[in-house]
Each structure stands twice: as C-alpha cells, then as structure tokens.
Chains A and B, each alone.
Chain A
Amino acid sequence: MKLRALLLVPVLLLGGCQGDDERGGTGFGGSGETGGTTGGDEEPPVEGEFAEPHIRILLARQYVNAIAELFDDEIAELAAPRADVTLNGFDAIGAGQLSLTDADIDDYERSATAIAAAALASPTALEPYLDCVPSGPDDVDCLSSFVERFGLRAWRRPLEPMELGRWTNVGFTAALDFGEFERGLEFIIAGMLQSPNFIYQIEVGVETGDGSGRRKLTSYELASRMSLFLTDNIPSAALLAAAGAGELDDEAGVREWAATLLADPRARLAFDEYFEELLYLRKLAEIAKDPATYPGWSPYLAESMKVETIALIDDIVWLQDSDFRDILDAEHTFVNDVLAAHYGVAYPGPAGFQKIPVPPGEKRGGIFGHASLLSVLAHVSSTSPTIRGKFIQERMLCFSIPPPPPEVVTDLPSAEEAPTMRDRLELHLVDPVCASCHQVMDPAGLGLENYDGVGRFRTAENGVTLDTQSELDDVPFDGALELGGVLRDKPEFARCTVLNLYRHGAGHVEAPGELAYLDAVEDAFVEDNDYRLRQTLVDLVASEAFRYVGEQD
C-alpha cells in the first residue's frame, strides 16, 4: 500500500495519546497543550475546588415543560424558546456558559406574549394563581396577590418586595389602560416569563463559612436543580413547600425527595431525553445517508431505530430496575415492523414496539448492536470505525482524544486500493504520528465492521470477507455482544456513566474538588447498588457534589 510522503516534520503535539494510566474522570491533558486561552475571566479550578456557580439557561424542553406545569399542555404548545447549544458534549454545559442573543430575547418575548394571551383565553389556566375576585381594573391587592402566587411557581421561589411591587405595577398600568383587570394579568404573565428569574436556573448559593470555600445551594435553588435534573421540569408546589419548610436542608430530606421525583412518570421522559442526547440519537432522523448505498433509509426508519435504543435503556432502568450495564450486552431488544424488516427478522406483532431476541447469528447484544448507534456513528455511505471507536472512548469511557496533529495530511486510500475499512485505516495504525491516538480508537470500531453504515449485518466488504477480531484497550472482542462484555467489565464505564449524568445535571464538567464526592457515588453504583441506575441517581443528587457549588469569582 502506497504511503504518502506528505507529513511535515511534526511539531510535537505534546502528549499524544500516552498517559493511559490516567483515564477517566481525572482525564488527560488532551489538546490543552496546544494553547488557546482559557475562557473569559475564569481560571480552571485548582485541586480541591468546586466549580464556580453559574446561572443556567433552561433547556428548551425544560422551558416548554415549565409552561405545561404552570398552565397546561395545550398552552405549552405555544412555547417556543431558544434552541440549546452544546458545549463539551452537553446542552446543559452550554446553558451554563453562553449568553443570550438578540434573537433569543426576541424569541422569548414572542413566546411569552403568545403564552400569556392563551392563558387569558383559557377558562382554567389562571385559577391556581387567582385567589381573589377582582373588584375592577384598579384592584391592586388582587393583582399583587396574583404576582405573588404566580411568581412563586414561575420563579421557583418567593418574591422579594421590590419584585412584587415592580410586577404589580406593570399589571396595574396595563389593567387601567385597557379598563380590564385581566389585561393586567396578561402583561404580568408575559413579562414575568421573560424575566431572568424564569429563563435561568439561578444557582448562587450561600457561603458555608467552613473554610472549604464552597457555597451551599439554598433550599429553593436545590429544589429547582433536583426537579429540573430528575424530571426536566420546575418544582411542583409540594416540592417548593418542602423547600420552604427546610426539608431539603439535609441529605436525608434530599434523598427522600429525590426518590419521590424519580417515581414521577416525567422522570422516565427526562432520562429518555438524556440518553438521546448522550448517544447522539436526537438528530438521527435528519442525518444524511446515501440512498444508493442504503435504499431503505428513511426518517421513519431512523426514528424507529432511536426508539429501539431508548426502549431498551428505559426497560432496564425503569421497568426492570436492573444492572445498568445490561444495556451493553442484553440479548433482547425492541422492534416495530419497519425495524424488524430492516434487521431481517420476523415482527411478532400485533402493533408497536415488541420485545424480541436479538437477530440470531449476528453477534449482536446491547446498544452497539443497535442500528441507531451504528448509523449515527458512520458516514453518509460507509461505516466509520474511527468515529465508532472515538465514541466508545469519549462517551462511554470518558477518555478524551486529542486533535490530529497540525499540518498532517489526513488522507486515506480509496476502496480500489484497499477493499475493507481495516485496509484503508491501516495507515492510521502504522504511521507513528497517527497511531498514538488511532490505536486507541480504530480497533474498537473495527470489531463492529460486521454492521454496515445503517446497522445491517454483513460478512464481506467489496467482496472481501471481513476480519472483525479486534480489541478494546488490548482486551479482545469480536462483534457487539462481546464488545458489550468488555465494556461491562471496565471500571471506566461505571465511572463515566456517573460523570456524564453529573455533567448534565450540574451543567459543568466536574471540578477536581467535586470528584472526591463523585468517586463515592461511583462506589455506591458499583458496590452498593449492583449497578442500578435509579438508586444511583438518588445517591448523585444527595451527594455534596450536587448540593454545593464553588466560590464566585
């Protein structure tokens, strides 16, 4: 195979992919070496510190759910918030760092205006907040009472007197102008839904004064953080009352409320969304696939693939409440008719998604045998072992892969020269400049080459029989089921599972000071909870990593 003499003298990218003793949460320098200034005014936290607290933009689905919670599902259909932006792999991290733009504020204004108009038109939407019969458009006390009651739910805390006066005034002016009490409510609602007190999850905390430099989230802040993490929604009236009564002040109370929240059906939906984000499945129906190579591809098939994976995880976490690692090598799955046809297995009927054994003779088992992941971790008209391997390392094992060295020509031979992916990627593994990182990624993906770019089983590529015997970090495997078995036994998988949940739930990559507490959650996951996720979510929320934040800068 022709080697291309194209590499400039490599300016050493210090680090490469060595240092593999330090996998997982403590991470590895990654591309940090190559400079670029760290962001804005913040220095990365030093050993032992907690991350600086941030106000966190509500995620789009949380905004919509909040409107449903405040009013009803029909009114929530009018909610049209800003779209989420991903940083470091999670929308929640983007929500904690990025600033809103003109377009976002415009969207929120339009959204709030529409919601308020609909709330007014609804015979029941305002009832929870109106405990008085207005005497006329100038009934300030009744307006104020509305502001107080609506504000408590919408802003997830009692209002301060200045705030109460400010918003009562807005309503009063409008009510008088229109000569109708209700018009006052309309502008109160529209305005308060545009307030930063609604738009952001406020996390400021109070100093602990114990010398740790940490701040403890207030009861109301913690109620919001718990509720938004576990149910993608603002706290219920009951949870707010509990917060006000001090029930969230200690770990025991937090544990109890976490369990209550997890029993809410909305928790399942929240974690379905979480796994869709984690596994890059959200946009599956919108990715491009070549119709000539994959004639059966359609948005409906793609959606079905997504549902298969979420259904398996949902079953294990919520219905069976069993070992979470079963998602890696379960030998059953869930298909609808279209998906069954795609896999070439019989659909048992009668309708919807049905549990079946994994397609036989294809080395399938767990999510790496699912068409969903195999499709999203691929190219438009081929597989991509590198992308599959990178996903396994970064998303499943929390090992960051550095960028390609600068000035390297990233060229691969064509299919004519190299019929299988393994042949084409050989340069990755032979050339020392490439190999240091690619030997960490490519083999994991090469072991999945029996599954094409839309997850169908194949034994040959371009007429050449595939050799799919491979290894993940030097542990041999062949196919999805065995890959799942290897991952199951890696401690990094359990660790990364906890870290990813934390990143989403707390809205930042874990700081060194938080890691000690997350270590304990990981231990509980592995040793106390038999890898059951639900109980571990309670442990995570009860952890000081979740209930405390760092110093403000």
Chain B
Amino acid sequence: MTERSKNPRHPRKAPIIRSRGLSRRTMLRGAVGGTSVALGLPLLDIMLNDNGTALASGGPMPRRLITWFWGNGCAINDPNNGDSGPRFWPASEGPNYEPTAQLAPLFDAGVIQYCSLLSKFDVKSGSEGRRGHHDGCTFFSGHPFVELPADGANYSSKSGGPTVDQVAAAQLGSQTYLPSIQLQVSKRIVTTEGPTLQYLSHKGPDQPLPQIANPQQAWDKLFASFTPDDDPTTPHRLAALDAVAEDAKALQQKVGTADRQRLEAHLASVAQIRSQIAATAPECVQPAQPGETNADIDGQEQLISVNSVMSQLLALAFSCDITRVASVQFTGSVGYTVFNDLGQNLGHHDMTHAGAENERVDAATIYTMARLADFLVALRDMPEGGGNVLDNSCVLVSSDCSTGLTHKTFDQPVIVAGGGGGALVSPGVHYRSQTGENSSDILLACLQTVCPEATQIGGGIGLSNTPLTAILA
C-alpha cells in the first residue's frame, strides 16, 4: 500500500489518450471542455471473428484469473459438533444445485449459474506446519508456508511459493500494461504474524504483493499512470532506470545468495516499470476518478461501497485489457472486520471463536457472498464480444479455513466462478470430493483456463499435476 494519495502535491500522470495496434483504426476525436481528446473504444464487434469468440486477427479473447478471499471461514453447522462441517454447501451435487442461504445472494443476483462449488477438498499444503489460518491461506499457492523461527520474538510466517494468480501473471503479465493488481476492501487486517496472513497475493516467500485499499489509488494505478508518448522526459527516466539496473547488478556481485535473489527481484521490477513507462496507453475510456477512498465514517468501514467501486474498476480494467490478473482480499485472515451493516459489534475473527455467535458468523458469511455477487455482477455487466467479461474470466474464491471455530483446512468453502473463456464448465456444478482430493487440483484447473500449457502447481506436499476436470469444460 502506498501513502501517495495522502500527498496532494504528488504529480499525477497524464490520462490515457492513445491508441495502438491493428484494431485501433477507429478513433473518435471529440472535444471535452474545449480540449481535443481521443476516445478509444472497447473491443468492437468489428475486431472479432464472425462468431464473436475470438479476435479477427486470430488471437484468442483475453482471459482473466482472479483470486477473491474472505477470512475466517464459515459458520459451523452445529456449534456443538466440531465435525459437522461448514454452513455453505447444498445437499445436491451436479449442475443446478439448490442454493443454500449462504449462496442465495449469488442466486438473487443472477450469477449462480456461473458458480461451481467444490466441497470436501483437503488443503494438503496446509497439513505441514499446522497453524490455524496460516495453513488455510496456503490454499491459494499450494505450497506449505515458511515459518520464521520466533526464538523469543513474535511468530511470523511467509508464503512458501507463488500464489496461483502470480503463476498466471508470470506467464500473461507481459501482454498487458500491468502484470496484475492487488486490491483490499476491509482495512481491519492482521499485520503482526507475517505475510501469509497479511497478503493474498505472493510472488514468493519474500515477495508479498502490497494491496491497494483506497479505490482512488486503484483508479490511479489502473487508469491514470500512463506516460504520454510525447513526454520528453521519458528517454531520461528510462536511462536512469538503466543506470539503476547497472547499480543493482554491481551490488549483486558483492552480496550473499539471498540478497542476490532479492536484487534479482528488484531488477525484474525495474524492468517491469521501465516497460510501463515506455508503454503506450491501451485503448480505453478513462473512467471518472471515484470519490470513495475507503475512509471510515464514524469509525465504521463502508464495505459495500468500497467493494462496489473496486469491482467496477476491475471490470473496466479487464475490458480495457490493462491487466488480466487480479486478487481481492475482501476481509483479512484473522481479521477484525466489524460488519456494521449487519448491526454487529464484534471483530470477525473473535466472533468465529464463540459458538454462541455462530448465527452472526453465518450472517457475515451471507453478507460476504452478497459482496462477491456484486463483484461477479460487475464483470457480467461488462459486455465483451458476444458475451461479457465474466464469461472470459475465472474467479477463484476461498477462505483460510473451513470454519473459524475449528480451524480445519478440510472442506474449506471454494467457489470457481466465470466462464474461463469457455474453459470452465457451464452451468457451474457442485462437485463433492469423495476422497479428500488435493485442493491444489482446483488451482491447477483454474490456472489452465489462462495458461493451458500449465501442468503443475504448488510444491511439496501440496503439489498437484492433476487438474480438477469436473470444472473444466
């Protein structure tokens, strides 16, 4: 997270105004407030093949991978029975399952057909190094987490490997302006137990990716960061970055192995920023800067508004092909979000550790699913080709445990939503594993929707090379 937005004097970059590439012949020139402005157009029918299923140039439609997280699991079916499982799953399996109360918001929003449910999987990557929440967070990477020995200091852990979104970004990232983006909704997260809990997206153990919690900053990063092509400072900014890279390489010769790797990451990021500065803005209509900043009102978070704005920004960013990979941390692992909108007054994590609060935990889960529905609707309502952005996206949704009360990493709530560009089964199905299959199988299937050539994900005990075919078309 940056504090840039707190500084009113920080210079803004020029807004997007350019077009590029073969499909960008059609440009409208208009006047906005007296200034000549070039408006690009989102993907036009003219750019598509006859079926609207691929680009006229022969390339495939862009596909996106999104991870979406909420902390602390679900309510338990029976607070007096630790093995009674989470309140989440329909009784029936297969397509057209009947939505439970928890899934009703998705049904009501008209997106339930996009959602596959995956029950009774085992987060095998969490079975090494057992520690509540830390282990469940490994769902998103398939790697056991790395413990930092405390030895009289505070316990911390970090991610054992890249999360699935970053595996995808490593492959897809060079095709878009931003390789990926990380967003955060609730600010009430835990920062004292290390990156595993604090961040949803990781490039590796030492690279947790900072999250943007302020929608204005997200807007800035996505839509207002382009350098105009005719900016005379550009060649010198690039030259400075090249010199920075030389400095980094020289330093690599002097330091130990771990630092060499850190500087390698530094160099990779310098190269990425270099390419972003040199990039021409993609064709897009720049949305207005949102007014929402995720500031509290009377000490209360505005989760519905923040989630809504972030969802719309992402939908537009995907439509503009600014990025194809995103992660959204709706609430934090062990987080203390207070669901004011439900009239609650307990921190989320604390609430999940009181059997007497089980109904409130359930209400919070239902509310969370309503926010997920808002996100899926934003994607669905963004037209694209013959369909919409949700048709061409894979949204992987889960938590850090099955129920907060038990900390179990068996039977975590999992939804895979979207059409995956045709790669995901439609309509969605409820697949109930009979053998406690590895949750990393789900990761691999999702990864394959954007990287068809991927053959494995995760590591160690969490590794999978068997994608879950039940959700693949």
In the complex, B90 has a CB within 8 A of chain A: no
Name the residue on A nearest B180 (C-beta): A102
Known contacts A35-B129, A55-B259, A410-B353; is A166 also within 8 Å of B243 by CB? yes
Report yes or no: A34 in contact with B130, Cβ–Cβ below 8 A: yes
Query: In the complex, which range does the number of interface residues on chain B fall in?
Result: 35 or more
CB distance A109 to B237 under 8 Å?
Answer: yes
Residue of B nearest to A551 (CB): B256
Residue-wise interface mask of B (290-307) relative to A, using a CB-CB cutoff of 8 A (1 in contact, 0 not):
000000001101000000
- Decide: A114 and B79 in contact? CB cutoff 8 A: no
A170–B270 Cα distance when bound, in Å, is 17
Contacts of A553 in B (CB 8 A): 256-258
Stretch at the interface among B198-206, B373-381, B386-394: B198-206
Interface residues in A397-445 by Cβ distance below 8 A to B read 398-401, 403-404, 406-414, 416-417
Q: Does A319 reach chain B (CB closer than 8 Å)? A: no
Complex alpha-carbon distance, A395 and B152, angstroms: 9
B10 contacts A by Cβ under 8 Å: yes
User: In the assembly, what is the distance between CA of A408 and CA of B83, in Å?
Assistant: 11
Q: Is the CB of B147 within 8 A of A88?
A: no
By beta carbon, the residue of chain B nearest A200 is B251
Please measure, in the bound complex, the distance between the C-alpha atom of A280 and the C-alpha atom of B191, giving whole angstroms: 11
In the bound assembly, the distance between CA atoms of A82 and B194 in angstroms comes to 17
Asked if B453 is at the interface (CB within 8 A of a chain A CB), the reply is: no
Q: A38-B146, A39-B148 are in contact. Are A398 and B2 (CB under 8 A)?
A: no
State the main secondary structure of chain A at its contact with B: loop
| Residue pair B192, A280 in contact (C-beta under 8 Å) | yes
The reply to whether B407 and A407 contact each other, CB–CB distance below 8 Å, is yes
Neighbouring B residues of A401 by C-beta, 8 Å: 155
Checking A4, A178, A288, A290 against B355 with a beta-carbon cut-off of 8 angstroms, the contacting residue is A4
Contacts of B178 in A (CB 8 A): 102
Instruction: Please tell me if the beta carbons of A38 and B147 are within 8 angstroms of each other in the complex.
Output: yes
The answer to whether A195 touches B128 (Cβ under 8 A) is: no
A552 to B206, Cβ gap below 8 A?
Answer: no
Q: Which residues of B contact A253 (CB under 8 A)?
A: none
A465: CB under 8 A from chain B? Answer: no
Known: A77-B9, A105-B266, A196-B266. A88 touches B153 (CB 8 A): yes
Q: Are A52 and B346 in touch, CB under 8 angstroms?
A: no
- Given A403-B132, A404-B132, A410-B405, the answer on whether A38 and B9 have CB atoms closer than 8 Å is no
Chain B residue at smallest Cβ distance from A297: B299
Question: Does B230 have its Cβ within 8 Å of any Cβ on chain A?
Answer: no
- Nearest chain B CB to A163's CB is how many angstroms away? 7
A552 CA / B256 CA spacing, docked (Å): 5
Asked whether any CB of chain A lies closer than 8 Å to the CB of B69, the reply is no
Q: A379-B350, A380-B346 are in contact. Are A411 and B153 (CB under 8 A)?
A: no
Interface presence of A42 (CB below 8 A): yes
B149, A191: Cβ atoms closer than 8 Å: no
Contact B257 A41 (CB under 8 A): yes
A162 adjacent to chain B (CB < 8 Å): yes
Q: Measured between alpha carbons, how far is A169 from B243 in the docked complex, in Å?
A: 9
- Whether B345 lies near A380 (C-beta < 8 A) is yes
C-alpha spacing A85/B347, complex, angstroms: 23
Residues of chain A with a CB closer than 8 A to B345's CB? 290-293, 380-381
With beta carbons under 8 angstroms apart, the residue of A117, A178, A195 that contacts B247 is A195
Pairwise interchain contact B235-A177, C-beta atoms closer than 8 A: yes
Residue of A nearest to B129 (CB): A36
A20 CB–B CB distance under 8 Å: no
Contacting residues, chain A, for B265 (C-beta < 8 A): 99-101
Q: Which of A276-290 contact B (CB under 8 A)?
A: 280, 286-290
Query: Which residues of B are found within 8 Å of A409, using beta-carbon distances?
Result: 82, 405-406
CB-CB under 8 A from A80, the residues of chain B are 2-4, 7, 10
The answer, among A109, A299, A395, A398, for a CB contact under 8 Å with B241, is: A109
Given A202-B251, A400-B150; A89-B192 close (CB under 8 Å): yes
For B248, list chain A residues within 8 Å (CB): 195-196
* CB-contact partner of B154 in A77, A88, A183, under 8 A: A88
The chain B residue sitting closest to A87, CB to CB, is B156
Encode A106-146 as 1/0 by CB contact (under 8 A) with B: 11011101100100000000000000000000000000000
Instruction: Decide: A291 and B298 in contact? CB cutoff 8 A.
Output: yes
A413 to B236, CA, bound (A): 65
Surface stretch bound by A, among B207-215, B362-370, B464-472: B207-215
Does B1 touch A at the CB level, under 8 Å? yes
- Within 8 Å CB of B241, what residues of A? 109, 191, 194
How many whole Å from B199's CB to the nearest CB in chain A? Answer: 9
A59 CB–B CB distance under 8 Å: no
Closest 6 interchain pairs by CB?
A: A36-B129, A191-B240, A89-B154, A552-B256, A414-B356, A27-B151
CB pairs A–B below 8 angstroms (17 shown)? A28-B152, A30-B155, A78-B9, A82-B210, A87-B195, A98-B195, A99-B206, A102-B272, A114-B10, A170-B240, A191-B241, A400-B154, A403-B132, A410-B406, A411-B354, A412-B353, A552-B256
Chain B interface residues (CB < 8 Å from chain A): 1-4, 7, 9-11, 79-82, 128-132, 135, 144-158, 160, 178-179, 182, 187-188, 191-192, 194-195, 198, 203-210, 221, 225, 232-233, 235-237, 239-241, 243-244, 246-248, 250-251, 254-259, 261-263, 265-266, 269-270, 272-273, 276-277, 298-299, 301, 336-338, 345-347, 350, 353-357, 405-408, 460
Q: 17 new A-B pairs (CB below 8 Å) besides A6-B81, A36-B128, A39-B148?
A: A36-B147, A36-B157, A54-B256, A93-B153, A103-B182, A105-B270, A170-B243, A174-B239, A291-B298, A398-B152, A400-B150, A400-B153, A403-B155, A404-B132, A406-B135, A496-B152, A510-B151
